[in-house]
Structure 1
Amino acid sequence: IAMGATIALTAYYFHTISWAGFISNALILPIFPIFMGIAVLIILLACGDMNIDALNHIADMLVTYANSVARFISQLPFSVTKEVYFSEYDVLFYFICITFLTLFIKRRKWLYMNLCIANCAFAVVLHTLTLNSFPTSGCVAFNAYDCTPIVFYQDGNAYYWTPDDGSKFKPEDFRRQHTGFFAAHGIDTFTEANDSSKIQNVALRSPYARIFSHTILMAGNNRWKKITGEKKVNIDFCVITKRFNGTVEDLARLYNINHMVISGNVYEPNTPSIIDQCRRFGIKCLNLREKSLIID
């Protein structure tokens, strides 16, 4: 009952649903009263400097049994559904459904069951419309401490580009931390992109990238200074990361920049100076500490 009441909250906050929990609880909960009774008895005996090895052995056996059941069930292929997108509206409709279902069980009136079914149908339609409203392709600059990954996705496949300090990027940890993003956009795969990658509508040549008709410059090291030619290069988004060594004036001398993006890993006392320089040169500025960069 407790799991049924909280499954929506688990899906909303952690974007996972543990189906195996119902099975494991059915197998483990019956032994809990026995275990608790033995545990209380062991504590009381310990207060009197008494110890019965048989009780300790039984308690150990019960704990071992519970751990073994949980470990076995967690390894089943259907035990957990990951990357589930659940909005606050889904949570609301779920609890409304639980309320109507409870009223039906208590009062045996089919009105409540009909309301429950209607609520579920409306929730499914709204959930489907919400998922369909998310774009199937796009590009996002995420705020990270060690590096600033540029993540772009299309048709269920996502790629990460980390030309600056990419060796410190851990895709498994990143995907776990941003499960909601992957679930909402229906992303199945998450792979690294580099200069040799062949991806539709994407061209990478560090520190530059052409992603979905937008030109991005990662100004995290001195490679951006090596540009040659008399004409300035047009840059839609210039991302300044912690390894940036220069000024906005230096960048403006070489590039026509529409948006300056300050990564969250930039030394924070330097941020106001960068923002002020952007104002002086008429460049729009975005601080990833305050707002994410979403490129359509």
Structure 2
Amino acid sequence: MITHYLHKYPFLRLLLPMTAGIIAGNFLFFHCQKSWLWFWMPLYACSVLFLSASYYLKRHAWRWVSGISASLCFFVLGINNISWRLQQTSYTFPETKSVYRAVIMEKPKTKEKYLLCRAYLLENRDSLSVVYPRKNILLYIQKDSISGCLRRGDEVLFSTRLSSPHNNGNPGEFNYARYLAHKAVSGIGFVTSGNWKITANKIHYSLMHTALECRDKILLLYDKLEFQGDELAVLSALTIGYQEELSEGIRESYSVSGASHVLSLSGLHFALLYGFIFFFLKRIPDKLPGIKIFQITTILILIWGFAFITGLTPCIVRSALMCSLFALSEFRRRNYISLNTLAAAGLLMLLYNPCWIFDVGFQLSFCAVASILLLQPRLYRIWSVKNRILKYCWGITTVSIAAQVGAAPLVLLYFSRFSTHFLLTNLLVVTLVTVIMYTAIIMLIIPPLPVIQFFVAGIVDRLIKTLNSTVRWIEQLPLSSMDNIWVYQWEVVGFYIMILLLVCFLHFKRVKYLHVLLVCLLITYCYRTVMRNNGQVEKSLMFYNVRNCPAVHCIASTGESWLTYADSISDRKRLPRMVSRYWMRLHLPEPHFVVSNYRDNHFFYQNNLLYFYGKWICIVNNNHWHNKETVQPLKIDYLYLCKGYGGHLESLIRLFSTKNVIIDSSLSEYYRQSIIDECKRLEIDFVSLAENGAFCVKI
């Protein structure tokens, strides 16, 4: 019965094996030897051969050969596409500092001490040759008097050591290296002041540069219309997808209230734009010759023009594709969007860029829309409403519930948060966003009338202030969100299987689907119980690898912990942010933050000497022990060398008797290597956090 149901959605039957192939190819690329790549060629050839042969099979009983061949063909195609894409990104950079020439591709982002620039690497020069890598890189350029002159399209010459992206090796950390690989970023480099110069200004132009220039002009118009602060940031996000100006406070408010989706351009914004365009085009009599072609062409040009200006992110492309397909069906008198249409959009996108499947926005967007298509009509039919206002509210409610069901497992996995007032949020926020979008469109299309434009801009400003106030009010409501919820990846798979089984039960009215759903629920619960038991808190010492933030985390078996910072001026917010998922997995409460002398039952810290359940650690972050002498060395378990110490290890060994040295990544690369050489000469065990990642000691 399910097979017969799937026959109605041919693009879905192709999308599923291709998705499986992309996931399999991604796993094999990062976890296996590259020699396996030869295997897909004969397999792909066989699948294409069987697919071609099945065309000549006239017997209906052999139709399964065609289905299996097509599925196998798209499965191997997924493996091939993702492998080729990742191989194109992979590149081996020189081990030493080199001279490079690159072009700045996007507007530099201002950080605390650096400018973050996405650049396209044109060439690598040395004394013997010139190499043309043609790869995307990220440059962190140190701020100085001329760094503010950098613009999109500028060509720069710089000297640094580029390296492939790598992770810090902390438990539970975000896989940043794989994230950049999926974004086609091949390398990262830090460029200090004086080691770079601009060789040409804005000589590299492309269609994307032109689109971003248009976006910048709209931002300048907003400044001219006197939008400021959070109102300017929210308006930029709602209308052109520019989120750089959003403050941490406004992001948190929208996240807690469950309104983050309106700040990211998606189907809602494109549907509103489509409705605005369609409203005027339908006024044109369709009896005129060629008018339908004109209407469709106008909609497609405006929709894709808007998508182009806003950056062509995966969720934007998906929304533009869906609107385009909807426009074609609308003018063919088939006002209907099905799961097959969504699958067709997904298939086209993954054929173009298979790495998009790992984009969080792509996953949330498709899961939410699929859930709306499968569940919303059934929910809407539960209550028949005739009143127009109630009908509108009931429609938004059912769409919100369906979208939340589809997106909630992924939101829990990636953000560990569930917004409890999402129904109230969507009912109020979506209505306000609709009014703001239409008013903003009117504001943008009447520039020849500045008086009226400023008047409309004032209305938009007040509407956005009302929107922000509404979001903050929902944020302040009791139990507005449940935070620090930890779910495992296979749990999320179980959740989606249960959602599909629920849809099958509602559609086919067969009790067996409900039975399987309950069995799946039991298996998921047992899996969570086993994982929780295996992940129980153990008494341990943890040395995290967070650059310029050396710290020792002492964890008791009860869950109580002490986080001792080796540097009093380190970024105390950075470390918890980077290892928070590890703490959530262990269900650790917030640790005691220690920066000065501290004493507890089993924890003692004084003058950089730390004691925890029989283990002694000496934190060396200055030259306090320099030129000191002792009659008998103090026995310690671990000597932790951090930024600030500039002496030799041998002088410390005369003061401390230890066989274990922890070398923090806050030390310079040259000094780390010097300490490693001393450890090898003195036959002392050592751990370099920069090379080995975080170091855990079980007590």
In structure 2, which of residues 679, 682, 694 is the aligned counterpart of residue 281 of structure 1?
Answer: 682
In structure 1, which of residues 1, 17, 25 is the aligned counterpart of residue 426 of structure 2?
Answer: 25
**Cα shift at 1:190:** 2.4
Change (3 A) 1:295 1:16: farther
- Output aligned runs, 1:221-240, within 5 Å: 221-225=622-626, 226=628, 228-230=630-632, 232-240=633-641
Paired amino acid for 1:197: Y
1:220 touches 1:243 (CA, 8 Å); kept in 2? yes
In structure 1, which of residues 135, 152, 161 is the aligned counterpart of residue 564 of structure 2?
Answer: 161
Matching residue of 1:120: 521
Matching residue of 2:485: 84
Higher alpha-carbon Rg: 2
Greater Cα offset, 7-16 or 260-269: 7-16
Matching residue of 2:410: 9
Paired amino acid for 2:678: Q
In structure 2, which of residues 525, 542, 556 is the aligned counterpart of residue 140 of structure 1?
Answer: 542
- Tell me the secondary structure at the aligned position of residue 12 of structure 1: helix
The gaps in structure 2 that reach 5 residues or longer are 1-401
- Tell me the secondary structure at the aligned position of residue 452 of structure 2: coil
- Output aligned runs, 1:234-253, within 5 Å: 234-253=635-654
Q: Deviations over 1:171-190 (max 9, x none)?
A: x5533333212212222232
Change (3 A) 1:56 1:221: closer
- Tell me the secondary structure at the aligned position of residue 222 of structure 1: coil
d(CA) in 2 for partners of 1:121, 1:111: 15
2:439 touches 2:456 (CA, 8 Å); kept in 1? yes
Higher helix fraction (1 or 2)? 2
- Tell me the secondary structure at the aligned position of residue 643 of structure 2: coil
- Tell me the secondary structure at the aligned position of residue 10 of structure 1: helix
d(CA) in 1 for partners of 2:504, 2:463: 37
2:554 touches 2:563 (CA, 8 Å); kept in 1? yes
Matching residue of 2:323: none
Matching residue of 1:38: 439
- Output aligned runs, 1:180-219, within 5 Å: 180-193=581-594, 196-219=597-620
d(CA) in 2 for partners of 1:76, 1:156: 30
Higher strand fraction (1 or 2)? 1
2:544 touches 2:693 (CA, 8 Å); kept in 1? no
- Output aligned runs, 1:41-120, within 5 Å: 41-46=442-447, 51=452, 55-56=456-457, 58-120=459-521
1:136 touches 1:185 (CA, 8 Å); kept in 2? no
Paired amino acid for 2:594: A
**Cα shift at 1:74:** 1.1
In structure 2, which of residues 658, 666, 676 is the aligned counterpart of residue 257 of structure 1?
Answer: 658
Paired amino acid for 1:20: H
Q: Deviations over 1:34-88 (max 9, x none)?
A: 4333333333333677836775455444433322221111122312222222222
Matching residue of 2:553: 151
- Tell me the secondary structure at the aligned position of residue 659 of structure 2: strand
Change (3 A) 1:203 1:106: same
Paired amino acid for 1:146: N
- Tell me the secondary structure at the aligned position of residue 221 of structure 1: coil
d(CA) in 1 for partners of 2:463, 2:506: 35
d(CA) in 1 for partners of 2:694, 2:450: 61
**Cα shift at 1:245:** 2.1
- Tell me the secondary structure at the aligned position of residue 189 of structure 1: coil
**Cα shift at 1:266:** 0.5
Change (3 A) 1:116 1:131: same
**Cα shift at 1:263:** 0.8
d(CA) in 2 for partners of 1:63, 1:249: 64
**Cα shift at 1:150:** 1.0
d(CA) in 2 for partners of 1:52, 1:247: 69
Matching residue of 2:697: 295
Greater Cα offset, 216-225 or 44-53: 44-53
Change (3 A) 1:36 1:167: closer
Paired amino acid for 2:621: G
**Cα shift at 1:89:** 2.2
d(CA) in 2 for partners of 1:234, 1:59: 69
Matching residue of 2:3: none
d(CA) in 2 for partners of 1:147, 1:9: 31
2:598 touches 2:606 (CA, 8 Å); kept in 1? no
Q: CA RMSD in A?
A: 2.8
2:659 touches 2:684 (CA, 8 Å); kept in 1? yes
Q: Deviations over 1:202-229 (max 9, x none)?
A: 2323322221222211122233454622
The gaps in structure 1 that reach 5 residues or longer are none
d(CA) in 1 for partners of 2:596, 2:451: 70
**Cα shift at 1:240:** 0.8
Paired amino acid for 1:87: Y
Change (3 A) 1:98 1:193: same
- Tell me the secondary structure at the aligned position of residue 8 of structure 1: helix
Q: Deviations over 1:108-152 (max 9, x none)?
A: 333333333332332233223323323243221223333311111
Paired amino acid for 1:88: Q
Paired amino acid for 1:151: H
Q: Percent identity of the aligned residues?
A: 19
**Cα shift at 1:24:** 0.8
2:629 touches 2:654 (CA, 8 Å); kept in 1? no
1:141 touches 1:294 (CA, 8 Å); kept in 2? yes
Q: Which has the higher contact order (CA 8 A, sep 6+)?
A: 1
d(CA) in 1 for partners of 2:449, 2:518: 58
Matching residue of 2:12: none
1:259 touches 1:283 (CA, 8 Å); kept in 2? yes
Paired amino acid for 1:235: I
1:157 touches 1:190 (CA, 8 Å); kept in 2? yes
d(CA) in 2 for partners of 1:131, 1:119: 18
Q: What TM-score do the two structures reach when normalised by structure 1?
A: 0.84
Q: Deviations over 1:225-277 (max 9, x none)?
A: 546223x3333221110111222222333333232111111112222222222
